[in-house]
Amino acid sequence: KSGSGKSVMIKCLAGLMAPDSGTIKIMDRNLLGLDQRALDELRTEIGFLFQGSALYDSMTVKENLEFPLRRHKHKFGDLTDTTPLVQEALDGVGLVHALNLMPSELSGGMKRRVALARTLILKPKIILYDEPTSGLDPITAKEIIELMRSIQNKYNTSSLIITHDVDCARVVSERMILLIDGINYAEGTFDELKTSNDKKVKAFFK
């Protein structure tokens, strides 16, 4: 539920916040032991979809997608023409036609798709989603959920999804963890947790 520590946890995983104690290992690397250069390199393998999409308002869709490419030149080299990579990423989310639009011209669902394309353009091994369906109408939320499934299958990425949307968890997840008061309280498949006799777990599925 809200306030249980979901967003704090995912920000710790992305290195945006430091935990009070403990360790964080991602792909056999201790996140807390990395210097800034090594952390930046690891981040090219970890996509992050912010809850509010976090697009740059003053940039076109194309420029928003070009930003991480230019930020991580060491991974892609000196790209003289980014258009093919931008178009490929937008095609992956069904928005090639939005190439030259400004964020203010996009609907909430389109912004979420563009933000996802910007994440995909670095071809990450893991994508962290912070409330991907938050603030969306039911139809658009369903489209985003289906898109997430499609991306998992097409790009063979692992996804860690922070959500209180039970339908999203049911459709997308292979394994679920219930976070209660900052503790990983219960773990299992959707069906296993839904049929649990634990009162705290059952409360999520009413």
Partners of residue 158 on adjacent β-strands: 126
The pLDDT tens digits for 68-103 are 887 776 666 666 778 888 888 888 888 888 889 999
Q: For the chain, which residues score pLDDT lower than 50?
A: none
pLDDT for 24: 92
* Separation of alpha carbons 204 and 185, rounded Å: 12
d(CA 108, CA 125): 26
- Write out the two tokens for 174: 């292979």
Rounded Cα–Cα distance for residues 117 and 72 (Å): 16
What pTM, to 2 d.p., does this model score? 0.83
CA–CA dist 129, 180 (Å, integer): 19
pLDDT at 101: 93
Q: Is 179 helix (H, G, I), strand (E, B) or coil?
A: strand
**Would you list the DSSP string of 21-51?**
SS--EETTEEGGG--HHHHHHHHTTEEEE-T
**Region of residue 87 (left: phi > 0; alpha: psi -120 to 50; beta: else):** alpha
What pLDDT shows up at residue 183?
A: 86
Question: What are the tokens at 21?
Answer: 């104690």
pLDDT of residue 75: 66
Return the pLDDT at 79: 65
Nearest to 194 by CA among 176, 168, 172: 176
